[in-house]
Chain A
Amino acid sequence: MVAVSKGYLVPAADFAGTVHSVFATACNLTVDGRLLTVHDAAAPHTPTSVRVVSWRPRARAGGPARCAGGILTFGEHALDLRALPVWTPPPPPPPAATVPPAITAAREVARIRERHVEARGIPAVPGLAARAESLLEALTGRPRDVPRAVAGLVGLGPGLTPSGDDLLVGALAVLSRAAPGSAFAGSAFPALAYGVRRHAHRTTDVGAHYLRLAAAGHFGEPLVNLVDALVTGAARAAVPALTQAALRVGASSGADGVAGVLLGLRALGSSPDRKAA
């Protein structure tokens, strides 16, 4: 196996840590309280992932992981990270002339997501929809209730990254990337990020890792690409493909993340900016 690229937040300096969990095509490593994911190149970048080709993880959870002189070793693997291409997300897009394009495209995104959920047979997590509505209400009307609404979502649902976490990440992505062009997003993002940081400890290690990254404005490649296209209204034709790519993340994480994006868009749409436009 060979490493082919890495995310921009993968530490460049030497480090030591442990193998956190092992899956069919991915391994999570814990490094200084943060998570580093080594996964197949078939999956897209996250800020903290190393993509490798042709591998099946051969490592045991709890085993040591270390990086010395740019060579990452864990389990049976040794990966050369020295001259790897680094994926860096583009800077947040410049403000769009108008917000409406995002809102119209949202309908299409929602349709694609519904089809995906149906095709994959992803069951609904009890309570998720109601708590998401509470978050939307808090974001758009009662900012002081945001942390409480976040608390209801963090860690909700089964799995490695519970659905509530993925949904929050999606919503944060929209607010973060829209912030330069939207006064509403500019104030809603820090409020939501604050709530998320406060409650991140209440979910799984992996969920908490991605929540903390999102609260600092860091997102995976498919989410960045989709959200940027939506909030700028550019590349309208690419939206279906970008939505599909975002949906393909994980087993159900993609669908939850896109639900979060839709929630973020609804927040933007019902914001004063929208009304002014």
Chain B
Amino acid sequence: MWSEHLDVVNVGLAGFGDNIRDAGGSVTTLDWRPPALGDPGTALALARIAGHPEIERANQVAFERYLSAQPVLTDVMPAGEAIPAMAGERLILHSGPPIAWDRMAGPVKGAIAGAIVFEGWAPTPEKAAELAASGEISFSPAHHHGAVGPMAGVISPSMPVWVVRDATSGRLAYSNFNEGLGKVLRFGANGPEVLERLRWMSTELAQALRPAVQRLDGLELKPLIGQALHMGDEVHNRNAAATGLLLKRLLPALIATGPDNAVLSRAAEFITGNDHFFLNVSMAACKAMLDAAAGVPHSSMVTAMARNGVNFGIRVSGTGDRWFQAPANPVDGLFFPGYGVADAAPDLGDSAITETAGLGGFAMAASPAIVKFVGGTPADATAHSRRMREITLGVNPVFTLPALDFGASAAGIDVRSVVDTGIQPVINTGIAHKEAGVGQIGAGVTTAPLPCFTQAVDALADGLGLAAGAAA
């Protein structure tokens, strides 16, 4: 080193950096702050796994699997048929990490009660709630079954699901149908008109869509999403373009499979009337890409971010099925007229799977329209998209952002980078009313809470025998 020009990174007292500069040296002074929320144990664990060759190798594998996944929309079928664990069982899936009935948030309870009545397991939502509390019904996170759902994310056996297949690995992912805005089950509404719509969706709509989707013979979703990004969607909070693109493919197939005109007209009206129709397809595609990256031992790549209305949870490729949870962060956003922070339910839903896959908030630069909706400027949006590159393993070259000169969207969140930089993954989200059934009352931007990531770092270090207590 004696022959080299000394080039110093100054970590700590800024004065030392100034002195080096005064003396004619080269120095970069960091804007340092304690990593890992100031926990020295986790900071040390993080340092031990930073750049660790085992993790670097694992991340390379996981990220490559994520990149090479090819989600393809292949089918529509009832959840009970698609998801083996649901067949013939009184099992209801919900969003986010596991949670017991008595701790569930209002909108989730409302949605579950609605699903129980919809299945015919109870006559009224009140009776349904009693049944749910009795332990007669099983609950499980959708994520545990390859499925995802927005907001309450409630999926019961008779509900139709999109089936998305990763053509590379053959793995399947599912999501329910989007019901539109207003009084809908995913916001906890369970009145007669909600159940009526669900019944129609599970019968007439699903029966019409199934042959049409099959007729498309595998609709590749990554190119469709990439195209939607160039048309102003970030495919989480804005799906107007993607819904149009999907419809463009579906409509000829629908017509060709020949349902009667009245059915066709109702189906077309329903789809065209809901700009979020594609959201659930986008989520299933993201789930397929991320499940491809899951289960690589020691990998620090995040494979799921999801909220159950109480806690925010993440899953990491190298730590198996574990959830790392913390209370959800508040949402910084705009409320519809007549509503305010006091009315808001905690952040909810599996839809942050889109951010996990490099879309949504990570791709916000693509979507000037959403920026206005969530309260911000286009400059904020590009700054968000750029900042996310600091915490990801890489970018997804298929998802390019015009506002970043067609630079690719950041993807593959590395828990180590989150904990080291303190930069929290940004999430575009809708805001649900805390009371079941009122529906969406706003939208905004939130972040994934840091404690989830510090726990994951501790767990990864533990997996290598490098946790803070261990002698290295």
**A–B contact at 8 Å CB threshold (below):** yes
Residues of A within 8 A of B (CB): 1-2, 4, 41-42, 53-55, 76, 78, 80
How far is A2 from B64 in the complex, measured between Cα atoms in Å?
7
How far is A74 from B64 in the complex, measured between Cα atoms in Å?
19
Taking the nearest CB of chain B, how far is it from the CB of A26, in angstroms? 16
The contact sample of 29 A-B pairs, CB cut-off 8 A, is: A1-B393, A1-B394, A2-B60, A2-B63, A2-B64, A2-B67, A2-B394, A4-B397, A41-B397, A42-B397, A42-B407, A42-B408, A53-B67, A53-B394, A53-B395, A53-B396, A53-B397, A53-B408, A54-B389, A54-B392, A54-B395, A54-B408, A54-B411, A55-B394, A76-B51, A78-B57, A78-B60, A80-B60, A80-B64
Taking the nearest CB of chain A, how far is it from the CB of B41, in angstroms? 26
Taking the nearest CB of chain A, how far is it from the CB of B397, in angstroms? 5
How far is A42 from B396 in the complex, measured between Cα atoms in Å?
11
Sorting the interface of chain B by its residue count into under 10, 10 to 19, 20 to 34 or 35 or more gives 20 to 34
How far is A124 from B60 in the complex, measured between Cα atoms in Å?
44
How far is A4 from B60 in the complex, measured between Cα atoms in Å?
12
Residues of B within 8 A of A (CB): 51, 53, 56-57, 60, 63-64, 67, 389, 392-397, 407-408, 410-412
How far is A76 from B52 in the complex, measured between Cα atoms in Å?
11
Residue of B nearest to A1 (CB): B394
Nearest 8 pairs of A and B residues by beta carbon = A54-B394, A54-B395, A2-B64, A53-B394, A41-B397, A53-B397, A2-B63, A1-B394
Besides the contacts A54-B389, A54-B392, what 13 more A-B pairs have beta carbons closer than 8 Å? Answer: A2-B60, A2-B394, A4-B397, A42-B397, A53-B67, A53-B394, A53-B396, A53-B408, A54-B393, A54-B408, A54-B411, A54-B412, A76-B51
How far is A103 from B228 in the complex, measured between Cα atoms in Å?
39
Set of chain B residues within 8 Å of A80, measured between Cβ atoms: 60, 64
Residue of A nearest to B406 (CB): A42
Taking the nearest CB of chain B, how far is it from the CB of A119, in angstroms? 14
How far is A104 from B67 in the complex, measured between Cα atoms in Å?
42
Set of chain A residues within 8 Å of B393, measured between Cβ atoms: 1, 54
Q: B67, B395, B412: which has the most chain A beta carbons within 10 Å?
A: B395
How far is A199 from B60 in the complex, measured between Cα atoms in Å?
42
How far is A265 from B64 in the complex, measured between Cα atoms in Å?
42
Set of chain B residues within 8 Å of A1, measured between Cβ atoms: 393-394
How far is A273 from B395 in the complex, measured between Cα atoms in Å?
49
Taking the nearest CB of chain B, how far is it from the CB of A70, in angstroms? 13
How far is A2 from B51 in the complex, measured between Cα atoms in Å?
15
Contact partner of B56 (CB less than 8 A), chosen from A41, A55, A78, is A78
Set of chain A residues within 8 Å of B396, measured between Cβ atoms: 53
How far is A244 from B78 in the complex, measured between Cα atoms in Å?
50
Taking the nearest CB of chain A, how far is it from the CB of B68, in angstroms? 9
How far is A41 from B64 in the complex, measured between Cα atoms in Å?
14
How far is A55 from B397 in the complex, measured between Cα atoms in Å?
12
Taking the nearest CB of chain A, how far is it from the CB of B26, in angstroms? 14
How far is A53 from B409 in the complex, measured between Cα atoms in Å?
11
How far is A53 from B408 in the complex, measured between Cα atoms in Å?
9
Q: B67, B394, B411, B412: which has the most chain A beta carbons within 10 Å?
A: B394
How far is A54 from B390 in the complex, measured between Cα atoms in Å?
11
Residue of A nearest to B61 (CB): A80
Residue of A nearest to B59 (CB): A2
Set of chain A residues within 8 Å of B395, measured between Cβ atoms: 53-54
How far is A80 from B389 in the complex, measured between Cα atoms in Å?
22
Q: A53, A55, A78, A80: which has the most chain B beta carbons within 10 Å?
A: A53
Taking the nearest CB of chain B, how far is it from the CB of A110, in angstroms? 26
Residue of B nearest to A80 (CB): B60
Residue of A nearest to B63 (CB): A2
How far is A1 from B392 in the complex, measured between Cα atoms in Å?
10
How far is A45 from B261 in the complex, measured between Cα atoms in Å?
52
